[in-house]
């Protein structure tokens, strides 16, 4: 019998597991992949993450990973017009997810979490106040369950909570050799078929992301092949949907965190912060549940804290989403000077504010 079982060992799940073991809970962490592994992500960490990483006692380890230091954002319109916005010193870095996620998983394991890799959850049932879980050919029991398994959450699907998915856009991501003189910057580039995000991640590598409708992906790939000298047949990682309706973050003895609960537009680069912080909040809820046995109170407190986490921040995400859904209009506004650098600075600093 475990106190808490956490499904998914990305930033949300691993952070939750580490906070749970630190609080004295017997913790199980189930991960369907074998680490290290890459994930489709912009790889950017903003200052909102630092306090959570400090509380996890891994901030120094993360900063010692190969990474790219980012000192400005270049917004590039269709046609090439560029507006640059300087970032506050030390505001943001880019780290490959294979490295970042492994630090967090190892932190949870070192703290005392029992970790099962290559363990896909195939069955769930809540009976007599405990979750019975089948994963990787084994059976487990836990008093609390945390879903940290992403936007296409298996846990949410098995519980009947996953909303209908609208596959309106697709994300492609890869790592390439860093172009000469690329600089310490993030590039957000509007394209006729969608948009591209680019950031250096250290060790001479570039994170390249492409986002567009499924029908537009061949054109976006051809653009990338010409722009970055990528050979046809290059391997890309892919993910969809880019957006999905939010799910109730608590259901009796289950808590949903990170993208399993709410998916936000990746354009703003805040996803990892939401993952880390929601994992911390769910750990507190799991502790309260195990100690009191009051599942209603635990669900209510976590739901309120989860709503507060997003309150006042999602307006930036909505503005960004509107911009990327209409790349031609956004490019026209950039070219015309309507999207003034001061406005872009306001939006950018709102995202990277600690």
pLDDT in tens, 110-134: 999 999 999 999 999 999 999 999 9
Long-range residue pairs from 216-222, CB within 8 A, at least 24 positions apart, any chain: 217/170, 217/172, 217/193, 219/192, 219/193, 220/172, 220/191, 220/193, 220/194, 220/196, 221/172
Cβ(131)–Cβ(240) below 8 Å: no
CATH number of 2-37+98-162+246-315: 3.50.50.60
Q: What is the mean pLDDT of residues 145-170?
A: 89
CB atoms within 10 A of CB 257: 34
Q: Where are the domains of the chain?
A: 2-37+98-162+246-315
Q: How far apart are alpha carbons 44 and 92 in whole angstroms? A: 7
- At 26 the pLDDT is 98
Dist. CA 116–CA 111, nearest whole Å: 15
CA-nearest of 347, 349, 269, 274 to 315 is 347
**Integer Cα distance of 86 and 68 in angstroms:** 15
If you average pLDDT over every residue of the chain, what do you get? Answer: 89
Residue 218 has pLDDT above 90, yes or no: yes
pLDDT at 339 over 60: no
pLDDT in tens, 297-325: 999 999 999 999 988 666 666 666 666 66
**Whether the predicted pLDDT of 206 surpasses 80:** yes
pLDDT at 337 over 60: no
The rounded percent of the chain whose pLDDT value lies above 90 is 66
Q: Are 259 and 275 in contact (CB under 8 A)?
A: yes
Q: What would the 3-class secondary structure string for 232-285 be? A: CCCCCEEECCCCCCCCCCEECCEEECHHHCCCCCHHHCCHHHHHHHHHHHHHHH
266 or 51, which is more confident? 51
Q: Output 156 or 351, whichever has higher pLDDT.
A: 156
Q: What is the pLDDT of residue 21?
A: 98
What's the full length of the chain, in residues?
354
pLDDT of 183 reads 92
């Amino acid at each position: 019998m475990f106190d808490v079982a956490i499904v998914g060992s990305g930033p949300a799940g691993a952070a939750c597991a580490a906070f749970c073991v630190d609080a004295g809970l017997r913790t199980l962490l189930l991960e369907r992949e074998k680490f290290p592994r890459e994930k489709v992500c912009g790889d950017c960490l903003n200052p909102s993450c630092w306090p959570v990483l400090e509380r996890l006692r891994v901030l120094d380890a993360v900063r010692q990973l190969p990474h790219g230091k980012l000192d400005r954002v270049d917004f590039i319109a269709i046609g090439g017009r560029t507006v640059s916005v300087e970032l506050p010193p030390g505001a943001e870095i880019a780290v490959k997810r294979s490295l970042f996620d492994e630090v967090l998983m190892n932190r949870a394991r070192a703290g005392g979490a029992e970790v099962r890799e290559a363990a896909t959850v195939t069955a769930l049932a809540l009976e007599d106040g405990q979750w019975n879980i089948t994963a990787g050919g084994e059976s487990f029991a836990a008093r609390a369950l945390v879903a940290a398994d992403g936007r296409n959450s298996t846990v949410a699907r098995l519980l009947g909570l996953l909303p209908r998915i609208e596959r309106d856009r697709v994300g492609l991501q890869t790592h390439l050799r860093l172009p000469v003189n690329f600089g310490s910057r993030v590039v957000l580039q509007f394209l006729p078929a969608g948009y591209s995000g680019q950031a250096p991640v250290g060790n001479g590598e570039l994170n390249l992301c492409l986002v567009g409708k499924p029908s537009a992906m061949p054109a976006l790939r051809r653009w990338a092949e010409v722009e970055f000298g990528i050979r046809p047949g290059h391997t890309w990682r892919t993910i969809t949907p880019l957006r999905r309706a939010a799910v109730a973050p608590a259901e009796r003895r289950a808590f949903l965190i990170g993208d399993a609960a709410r998916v936000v537009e990746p354009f703003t680069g805040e996803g990892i912060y939401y993952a880390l912080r929601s994992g911390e909040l769910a750990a507190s809820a799991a502790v309260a549940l195990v100690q009191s046995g009051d599942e209603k109170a635990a669900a209510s407190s976590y739901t309120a804290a989860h709503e507060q986490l997003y309150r006042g921040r999602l307006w930036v995400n909505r503005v960004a989403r509107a911009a990327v859904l209409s790349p031609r209009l956004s490019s026209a506004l950039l070219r015309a000077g309507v999207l003034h650098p001061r406005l872009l600075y306001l939006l950018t600093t709102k995202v990277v504010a600690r």
